[in-house]
């Protein structure tokens, strides 16, 4: 019989950290802390399997679950020496979600559960603290009505704000016991008016309501959206943790807080966190009050009071616990704690979310400290996180000239510029049409996840470094400035004010997540300097990986950027991109519009020196590294104008009639150009194009080698072949030209001629193709398009539905379809190497920079992947991780 409930308490737990898939991250770590002898309030975890059962069985629970919960509730009562639903010695519990990976704020929590009009009086008798009792009661009603009864939290929040206004209270803590007591019937009446239901008073009914709500929250909109953004499977389910309440809101000798064992923004080895006195944990995370620093080292001004100063014994106990946890887990931990009557209790530990900069520093520092080895360090960095390090920061000179209007907390580093929007919906709408936006909120909530993802950066008026905005932004790699109290937001007017400055929706601002500064207008950005830790970790990755990493680059600038990022050559240089600039396009159009071979050759003669110069510059940058140059690929109509005024302008430029030009354009049109006259097919019809490009490549290589003594390794790639005879015809043409050119320069030059495998037939006949090709490069963009029969330009209309409905696990143009397209790649590799065991094989589609696709390429035995310049470090790291996994 399946076991659905696991107990923890009294320094013993039925579970452990290894059971994250079953107990969720929170439940597994609560069990682990309990087994380590760390002070954790007793409780029990309902497994993810129960949630999966609930989802798959029409929202019903397993038969044995009710009795298991009762049995474990009895154990909990024994461990705590208190009783659920007993006014003489009342036990209240928290009910929290806990998926196997951290999903901060995405699912539901209920605190202070088990309280009612009778129990609240029992708490007062037991504690002698009526304010605490009524505060706990009103908090419970607020949370339960929202989470379980699905009532808008603003309704009761307005009632609370009205009471504060009536009593001239600035904060919730300024309300008296009588004030809070008077809110309870008001809250209940509001709930009855809005929902039509009475607020439940039976603690067992409350408990099952909360358990049901937590299971249900696995499939709420924000959780689904978060899983999509973070590639978390929808079928994992969440665990539910039922735990004895401990109270940070009993008075000034109580507190609650969140801390990190190292700085999550910089990675610096210092204990870092925030706390609130006389509060409950949700207050810190929700950013409702701006918290205080946990220790003296983190104070930013003299008005702040740290936990280290006001409760030194509890702080010292917390230091001892954090050191024990980091030493045990061998990684930076994100911890939550409550202090009740100066006694410390731990409520959570988990691997802390961190910026890319922090991740690199923590990983390299821990290797240097002897805590982990190099392979572990390399495995810990998310390849996609490196994007944070490879994009611009603000130019200090330009920043100095701009108007700084305010400064908040530097919650997540980076530099963001965009139009101001005030809600998540507007952020998503604007981003959809290509606008860059900054999401400005009083504080963010989990419902804002879509807007946070769409925005360039996030600015909040409330909340601290551990608020929802800060944690989620760091996880996303988004720039965030939090807790900027000077920003007074008016949602109704869609504006905010800082002193006399008013900023309206649509106005441009710049925010610096590394300093907390906010500027009016656009501040210029500069390319960041990569840290020593980046170079160190990339060096370790290079020691480990066996898969080469090249770049897709068409210009000397891109080639240099990629080389600086560690590219080991160019895997794809698209020659057609060179034809679209300035005067080049005119010569290209002359060639297309020429009526005979002589006319085409005349136009191509104009293009030859231009192409040659481009190649020379790229060869110089890539000194000694291979450069794979793809011959002309797109259909010719792409180089011609289609709008009336442009056609007239080109006709005049080229000295042809508008009618003749229109006729030519019409004749070149194709019903399905991606399957039409392009790639090698163009060169078969017009071999003079291939001859010109071949000559430009070989002449450039010879001149650079002869004049600059640079080692040049040109690789000429013939695109879109479906039959070996296409390759042979064009290869012979190029060899003939190459021999003539090399002879004229009187030097030796090694060059290769290979092909792109991007048509399924070429993969199926790869053994035949390998008889002529000296290398293969899988063009997985076209190979995916032709294998699925999807137009990559149009598939965006329906692919989201396919992913949503589980037809496909991912968009196959973003992640390689390993089951289908992958089989063709495997077949092509196997067949090709059956003829030539040393055949060099790479991949140059967009998949070359995507980690799971890179892992597939490693497993399939490719020699290299090729990706855009800024993804080169990501590919290097992903290739190392693939090597580690395979061993």
* Residues with active-site annotation: 468, 844
> In 3D, which of 351, 353, 389 has the Cα closest to residue 538?
389
User: Angle 485-488-492 (CA atoms, 0-180°, nearest 5)?
Assistant: 145
Asked if 752 and 789 count as a contact pair (C-beta separation under 8 A), the reply is no
User: Angle 139-143-147 (CA atoms, 0-180°, nearest 5)?
Assistant: 175
* Positive or negative torsion for Cα 132, 138, 143, 148: positive
Produce one character per residue of 281-313: b if its CB has 16 or more CB atoms within 10 Å, e if not: bbbbbbbbbbbbbbbeebbeeeeeebbbeebee
- For 505, other C-beta atoms within 10 Å of its C-beta total 17
* Positive or negative torsion for Cα 401, 405, 409, 414: negative
DSSP 119-168: HHHHHHHHHS-HHHHHHHHHHHHHHHHHHTS---HHHHHHHHHHHHHHTT
CA atoms within 13 A on the CB side of 420: 29
Find the helix packing angle between 177-195 and 153-166, rounded to 10°: 150
Bridge partners, residue 525, by sequence: 394
- For 171, other C-beta atoms within 10 Å of its C-beta total 11
| Burial of 597 from C-beta contacts in 10 A (0-12 / 13-18 / 19+) | exposed
Q: Which residue has the tokens 């006949």?
A: 765
For β-strands 457-460 and 437-441, DSSP reports them as: parallel
Q: How far apart are CA 509 and CA 406, in angstroms?
A: 11
Q: How far apart are CA 118 and CA 112, in angstroms?
A: 14
- For 605, other C-beta atoms within 10 Å of its C-beta total 12
Phi, psi of 113, rounded to the nearest 5 degrees: -75, 140
Q: Tell me the three state secondary structure of residue 877.
A: helix
DSSP tally for the chain: helices H, then strands E: 34, 34
Q: How far apart are CA 872 and CA 835, in angstroms?
A: 31
Question: End-to-end distance of the chain based on CA atoms, in angstroms?
Answer: 36
Q: How far apart are CA 72 and CA 81, in angstroms?
A: 14
Phi, psi of 752, rounded to the nearest 5 degrees: -125, 150
Own/partner pairs for 676-680, CB < 8 Å, 24+ apart?
676/635, 677/635, 677/636, 678/633, 678/634, 678/635, 678/720, 679/632, 679/633, 679/718, 679/719, 679/720, 679/721, 680/631, 680/718, 680/719, 680/720, 680/721, 680/726, 680/727, 680/730
Instruction: State both tokens at 582.
Output: 């300035």
Instruction: State both tokens at 442.
Output: 């009083």
Instruction: State both tokens at 119.
Output: 């129990």
Q: Strand ranges (DSSP E) for 436-574?
A: 437-441, 457-460, 479-482, 488-490, 495-498, 501-504, 508-512, 517-520, 525-526, 548-552, 570-574
> In 3D, which of 749, 756, 631, 614 has the Cα closest to residue 686?
631
For β-strands 517-520 and 525-526, DSSP reports them as: unpaired
Residue 191, CA distances (Å) to 151, 172, 199, 210, 475 in order: 8, 21, 7, 17, 36
Those residues whose C-beta lies under 8 Å from the C-beta of residue 583, and which sit 6 or more positions away, are none
Those residues whose C-beta lies under 8 Å from the C-beta of residue 125, and which sit 6 or more positions away, are none
Q: Tell me the three state secondary structure of residue 655.
A: coil
């Amino acid at each position: 019989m399946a076991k659905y409930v696991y107990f923890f308490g009294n320094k013993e737990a039925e579970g452990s950290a290894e059971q994250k898939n079953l107990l969720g991250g929170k439940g597994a770590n609560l069990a682990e802390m309990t087994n380590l002898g760390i002070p954790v309030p007793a409780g029990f975890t309902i497994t993810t399997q129960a949630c999966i059962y609930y989802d798959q069985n029409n929202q019903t629970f397993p038969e044995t679950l009710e009795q298991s919960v009762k049995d474990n509730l009895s154990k909990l009562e024994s461990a705590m020496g208190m009783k659920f639903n007993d006014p003489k010695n009342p036990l209240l519990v928290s009910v929290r979600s806990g998926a196997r990976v951290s999903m901060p704020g995405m699912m539901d929590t209920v605190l202070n559960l088990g309280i009612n009009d009778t129990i609240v009086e029992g708490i007062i008798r037991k504690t002698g603290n009526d304010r605490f009792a009524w505060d706990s009661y009103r908090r419970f009603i607020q949370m339960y009505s929202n989470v379980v009864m699905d009532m808008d939290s603003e309704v009761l929040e307005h009632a609370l704000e009205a009471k504060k206004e009536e009593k001239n209270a600035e904060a919730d803590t300024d309300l008296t016991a009588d004030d809070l007591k008077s809110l309870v019937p008001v809250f209940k009446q509001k709930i009855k008016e809005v929902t039509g239901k009475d607020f439940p008073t039976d603690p067992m009914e409350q408990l099952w309501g909360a358990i049901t709500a937590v299971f249900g929250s696995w499939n709420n909109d924000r959780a689904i959206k978060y899983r999509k953004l973070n590639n978390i499977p929808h079928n994992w389910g969440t665990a539910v943790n039922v735990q004895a309440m401990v109270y940070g809101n009993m008075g000034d000798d109580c507190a609650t807080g969140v801390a990190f064992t190292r700085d999550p923004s910089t990675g610096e080895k210092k204990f870092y966190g925030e706390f609130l006195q006389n509060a409950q944990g949700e207050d810190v995370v929700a950013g409702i009050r701006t918290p205080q620093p946990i220790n003296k080292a983190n104070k930013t001004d003299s008005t702040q009071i740290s936990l280290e100063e006001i409760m030194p014994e509890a702080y010292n106990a917390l230091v001892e616990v954090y050191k024990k946890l980091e030493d045990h887990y061998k990684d930076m931990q994100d911890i939550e704690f409550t202090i009740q009557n100066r006694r410390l209790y731990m409520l959570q530990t988990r691997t802390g979310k961190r910026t890319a900069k922090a991740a690199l520093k923590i990983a390299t520092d821990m290797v240097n400290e002897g805590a982990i080895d190099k392979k572990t360090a390399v495995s810990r960095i998310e390849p996609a996180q490196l994007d944070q390090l490879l994009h611009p920061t603000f130019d200090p000179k330009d920043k100095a000239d701009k108007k700084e209007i305010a400064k908040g907390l530097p919650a997540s580093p980076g530099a963001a510029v965009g139009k101001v929007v005030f809600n998540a919906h507007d952020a998503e709408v604007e981003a959809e049409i290509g606008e860059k936006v900054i999401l400005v909120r009083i504080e963010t909530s989990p419902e804002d996840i879509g807007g946070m993802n769409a925005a360039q950066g996030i600015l909040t008026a409330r909340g601290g470094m551990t608020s929802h905005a800060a944690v989620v932004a760091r996880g996303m790699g988004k720039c965030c400035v939090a807790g900027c109290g000077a920003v007074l937001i008016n949602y109704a007017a869609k504006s905010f004010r800082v002193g006399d400055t008013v900023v309206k929706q649509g106005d441009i601002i710049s925010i610096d997540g590394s300093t907390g500064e906010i500027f009016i207008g656009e501040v210029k950005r500069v390319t960041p300097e990569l840290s020593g830790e980046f170079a160190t970790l990339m060096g370790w990755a290079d020691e480990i990986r066996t898969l080469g990493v090249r770049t897709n680059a068409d210009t000397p600038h891109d080639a240099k950027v990629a080389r600086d990022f560690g590219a080991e050559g160019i895997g794809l240089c698209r020659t057609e991109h060179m034809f679209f600039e300035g005067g080049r396009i005119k010569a290209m159009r002359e060639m297309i519009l020429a009526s005979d071979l002589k006319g085409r050759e005349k136009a191509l003669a104009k293009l030859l020196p231009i192409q040659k110069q481009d190649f020379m510059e790229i060869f110089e940058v890539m000194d000694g590294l291979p450069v794979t140059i793809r011959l002309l690929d797109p259909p010719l109509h792409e180089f011609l104008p289609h709008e009336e005024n442009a056609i007239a302008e080109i006709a005049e430029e080229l000295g042809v009639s508008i009618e003749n030009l229109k006729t030519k354009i019409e004749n070149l049109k194709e019903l399905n150009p991606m399957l039409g006259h392009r790639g090698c097919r163009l060169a078969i019809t017009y071999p003079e194009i291939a001859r010109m490009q071949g000559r430009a490549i070989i002449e450039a290589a010879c001149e650079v080698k002869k004049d600059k003594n640079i080692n040049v390794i040109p690789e000429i790639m013939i695109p879109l072949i479906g039959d070996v005879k296409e390759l042979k015809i064009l290869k012979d043409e190029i060899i003939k030209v190459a021999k003539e050119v090399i002879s004229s320069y009187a030097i030796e030059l090694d060059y290769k001629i290979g092909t792109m495998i991007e048509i399924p037939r070429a993969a199926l006949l790869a053994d035949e193709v390998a008889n002529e090709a000296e290398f293969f490069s899988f063009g997985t963009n076209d190979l995916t398009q032709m294998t699925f029969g999807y137009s990559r330009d149009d598939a965006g209309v329906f692919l989201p539905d396919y992913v949503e409905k589980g037809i496909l696990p991912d968009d196959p143009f973003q992640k390689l379809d390993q089951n289908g397209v992958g089989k063709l790649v495997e077949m092509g590799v196997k067949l090709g190497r059956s003829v030539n065991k040393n055949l060099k094989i790479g991949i140059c589609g967009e998949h070359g920079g995507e980690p799971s696709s890179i892992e597939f390429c490693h497993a399939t035995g490719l020699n290299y992947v090729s990706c855009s310049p800024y993804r080169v470090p990501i590919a290097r790291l992903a290739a190392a991780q693939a090597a580690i996994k395979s061993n």
